């Protein structure tokens, strides 16, 4: 490594304590690059909070007990994991896993519901505008923006799929209208502020690509004050369902009893511990519910209006699910609606045409036998995990019955 190359900590870094003198550090949602670091390793990492080269921090590293060879190895691992980036240069792209996967992008490209919704919104809004796309992937939306008359497009991508995007721009004769920036948007500086932002930072868990964090930063640093966002609003909704793949506590206990018979070992301590395990969150590409399994009406959990400066402030939402059909409620399906200024709406609702997103299904800890007209309390929560935000929906065991619907 070049000892005179200045490095700086990525603004995308997420640090979570996981034990005594142990921290989980992640540099990107696009890869499985999380590492467990000690407090002394974090001290070394903090040396690059401002641009610094290894020669600059060698003396301090020695005081931490990190000699020259170990310093070089540590910085190399920081760079490989995206924890630090070369100051003043594009960041190295993530080579493997996550959104660098060609298979992931194949699923998104063949999803005509997704692409055509963005295309309609792009055609209606981008002409003569300076456009920014965060997370351009293969570059399809940036190509569509250039073809629709954008003045110039700045496309940001942090994974190796950027190599494909670069070739896509050339193959579609828009390379002169699109500038590719390699790295995470939090670490990118643009030569000009954009009039319009295209973003598809929406996962099956609508917040798990850290959409709130990236949009807040983009609005502060990369966009003009009156910039248009595509989409400009995101509603996160849910319905109570009967999940045919739900596994009951009694079934788990029966499975362990069968194993205990085969092994000749008591699993009772494990059975007791499992009683306190939180319900699972599962990603399904085909919603595992029986006919008539949508038991409740829709409830809007969050409504993120990206024009509102406070859109990222809400983490907890509580309310009730209104039961429409009798049955056994054992899960909640979470989905979204993305709204565009042109009037286009993109959704992965279980009642809409299937998309590449599939569904987030949050299991209940215990099933609830419900009747039409009941109101079942829920709590939705957005929590920070090791590599970003996650959404959880919990349904209370106690229910407040109301009069039957007329």
105 and 79 housed in the same domain:
no
Instruction: Assign residue 375 the CATH number of its domain.
Output: 2.70.160.11
Q: Does 391 lie in the same domain as 244?
A: yes
Per-residue pLDDT band at 93 (split at 50, 70, 90): low
Give the pLDDT confidence score for residue 404 in this predicted structure.
40
Q: What gap in Å lies between CA 394 and CA 396, rounded to an integer?
A: 7
In this structure, the dihedral spanned by the alpha carbons of residues 17, 19, 25 and 30, taken in order and rounded to 10 degrees, is: -100
Q: Round to whole Å and give the CA distance between 291 and 309.
A: 42
pLDDT single digits (tens) 205-240: 999 999 999 999 999 999 999 999 999 999 999 999
Residues 158, 200, 298, 389: which is the catalytic one?
200
For the segment 311-356, what is each residue's pLDDT rounded down to a tens digit? 999 899 999 999 999 999 999 999 999 999 999 999 999 999 999 9
- On whether the CB atoms of residues 197 and 173 are closer than 8 A, the answer is no
Instruction: Judge if 388 and 245 occupy the same domain.
Output: yes
- Domain match, 155 and 191 both: yes
78 and 126 assigned to the same domain = no
Same domain, 114 and 182: yes
Asked if residue 378 belongs to a domain, the reply is yes
Q: Is the pLDDT of residue 27 over 90?
A: no
> Average pLDDT of 254-272?
87
Asked whether residue 158 falls in the same domain as residue 29, the answer is no
Residue 149 lies in a domain: yes
Q: What is the pLDDT of residue 24?
A: 80
| Domain end call among 65, 86, 107 | 86
| Residue 173 in domain | yes
> Which CATH number fits the domain that encloses residue 151?
3.40.50.150
Q: Does a structural domain hold residue 92?
A: no
Give, in degrees to the nearest 5, the angle at Cα 215 between 344 and 196: 55
pLDDT level of residue 401 (50, 70, 90 thresholds): very low
- In a domain, residue 22? The reply is yes
The verdict on residue 180 lying in a domain is yes
- Strands 152-157 and 178-182, bridge-based pairing: parallel
Mean pLDDT of 276-290: 81
**Helices 140-147 and 112-125, packing angle to 10 deg:** 30
Residue 200 designated active-site: yes
Q: Which of 148, 175, 200 is the last residue of a domain?
A: 200
Residue 133: active-site member:
no
One domain for residues 324 and 295:
yes
Residues 255 and 308 in one domain: yes
Q: Which residues pair with 19 in a beta bridge?
A: 22
Residues 250 and 119 in one domain: no
Q: Give pLDDT, residue 403.
A: 42
The boundaries of the domain holding residue 76 are 7-86
Q: Which of 209, 298, 374, 389 is catalytic?
A: 209
270: preceding bond cis by omega (within 30 degrees): no
Q: Which of 224, 218, 232, 211 is nearest to 129 (CA)?
A: 224
Q: Cα–Cα–Cα angle for 25, 334, 233, nearest 5°? A: 80
Single residue among 86, 106, 139 that ends a domain in this structure: 86
Residues 156/183, Cβ–Cβ less than 8 Å: yes
CATH no. for residue 57?
A: 3.90.930.70
Whether residues 76 and 108 share a domain: the answer is no
Does some domain include residue 206? no
Query: CA 276, CA 270: separation in Å to the nearest integer?
Result: 10
Q: What are phi and psi of 126, to 5 degrees?
A: -95, -10
What total number of domains does the chain contain? Answer: 3
CA–CA separation, 353 vs 333, rounded Å? 16
- What does the pLDDT read at residue 406? 33
Average pLDDT score over the chain: 89
Task: Answer whether residue 310 is part of any domain.
Answer: yes
**Average of pLDDT values for 89-115?**
77
Tell me the mean pLDDT in the region 242-268: 85
What is the rounded distance in angstroms from the CA atom of residue 35 to the CA atom of residue 237?
33
Same structural domain, 40 and 180: no
CB-based contacts of 212-216 (< 8 A; 24+ apart in sequence):
212/304, 212/311, 212/312, 212/389, 213/186, 213/312, 213/388, 213/389, 214/134, 214/185, 214/186, 215/306, 215/311, 215/312, 216/312
């Amino acid at each position: 490594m070049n000892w005179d190359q200045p490095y700086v900590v990525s603004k995308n870094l997420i640090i979570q304590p996981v034990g005594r003198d142990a921290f989980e550090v992640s540099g990107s949602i696009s890869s499985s690059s999380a590492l467990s670091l000690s407090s002394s390793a974090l001290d070394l990492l903090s040396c690059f909070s401002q641009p610094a080269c290894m020669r600059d921090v060698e003396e301090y590293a020695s005081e931490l007990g990190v000699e020259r060879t170990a310093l070089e190895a540590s910085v190399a691992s920081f760079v490989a994991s995206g924890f630090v980036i070369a100051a003043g240069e594009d960041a190295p792209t993530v080579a493997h896993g996550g959104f660098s996967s060609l298979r992931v992008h194949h699923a998104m490209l063949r999803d005509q519901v997704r692409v055509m919704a963005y295309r309609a919104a792009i055609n209606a809004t981008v002409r003569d505008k300076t456009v920014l796309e965060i997370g351009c992937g293969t570059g399809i939306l940036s190509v569509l923006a250039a073809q629709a008359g954008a003045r110039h497009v700045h496309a940001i991508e942090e994974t190796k799929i950027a190599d494909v995007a670069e070739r896509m721009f050339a193959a579609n004769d828009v390379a002169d209208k699109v500038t590719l920036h390699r790295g995470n948007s939090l670490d990118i500086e643009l030569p000009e502020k954009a009039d319009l932002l295209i973003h598809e930072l929406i996962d099956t868990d609508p917040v798990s690509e850290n959409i709130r964090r990236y949009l807040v930063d983009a609005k502060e640093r990369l966009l003009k004050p009156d910039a248009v966002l595509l989409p400009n609003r995101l509603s996160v909704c849910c319905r109570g369902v009967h999940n045919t793949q739900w596994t009951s506590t009694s079934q788990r206990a029966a499975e362990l009893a069968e194993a205990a018979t085969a092994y000749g070992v008591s699993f009772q301590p494990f059975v007791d511990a499992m009683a306190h395990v939180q319900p699972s969150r599962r990603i399904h590409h085909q919603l595992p519910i029986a006919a008539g399994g949508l038991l409740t009406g829709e409830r809007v959990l969050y409504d993120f209006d990206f024009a509102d400066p406070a859109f990222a402030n809400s983490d907890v939402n509580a309310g009730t699910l209104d039961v429409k059909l009798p049955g056994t409620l054992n899960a909640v399906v979470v989905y979204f609606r993305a709204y565009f200024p042109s009037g286009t709406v993109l959704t992965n609702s279980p009642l809409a045409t299937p998309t590449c997103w599939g569904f987030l299904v949050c299991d209940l800890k215990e099933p609830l036998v419900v009747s039409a007209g009941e109101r079942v309390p829920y709590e939705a929560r957005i929590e920070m995990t090791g590599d970003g935000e996650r959404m959880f929906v919990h349904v209370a065991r106690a229910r407040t019955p109301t009069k039957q619907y007329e």
